[in-house]
Amino acid sequence: MCRRDEAGLFFAPSKEPTAARLSREEAAKRVCGRCPVMVECREHALLQPEPYGVWGGLTAAERRVVLARRRRRDMELRKAARGAIAAAG
């Protein structure tokens, strides 16, 4: 779907006014919401990481938040695993 008519919705033109950007991003997210590969698209954008555009229903800023949360969660899991190994040893 996003490779066809709506492709312009997913990336900001230069110097786009904030209200126009928000409206365009919401329209892009609606397209994503109907997409059968939305989760795969989102994961691709998070793994790359894609710095621009709406991918898998998330803006670049939203993806940065998700990545930061994942990093924190991963650090906490590693810390807990080290503690469990130390307690068992």
Dihedral, 82, 83, 86, 89 alpha carbons, nearest 10: -100
Mean pLDDT by 10 residues, the chain (89 residues): 75 93 96 94 94 96 96 91 82
Q: pTM, whole model, 2 decimals?
A: 0.81
Residue 18 lies in a domain: yes
The predicted-structure confidence for 18-38, as pLDDT tens digits, reads as follows: 999 999 999 999 999 999 999
Residue 46 lies in a domain: yes
pLDDT for 38: 96
Residue 23 lies in a domain: yes
pLDDT for 85: 85
Binding positions for [4Fe-4S] cluster are 2, 32, 35, 41
Q: Quote the domain boundaries for residue 78.
A: 7-87
pLDDT for 6: 73
Residue 2 lies in a domain: no
Amino acid at 48: Q
Binding positions are 2, 32, 35, 41
Counted domains in the chain: 1
For residues 50 and 48, give the distance between their C-alpha atoms in angstroms, rounded to a whole number.
5
Residue 19 lies in a domain: yes
Residue 49 lies in a domain: yes
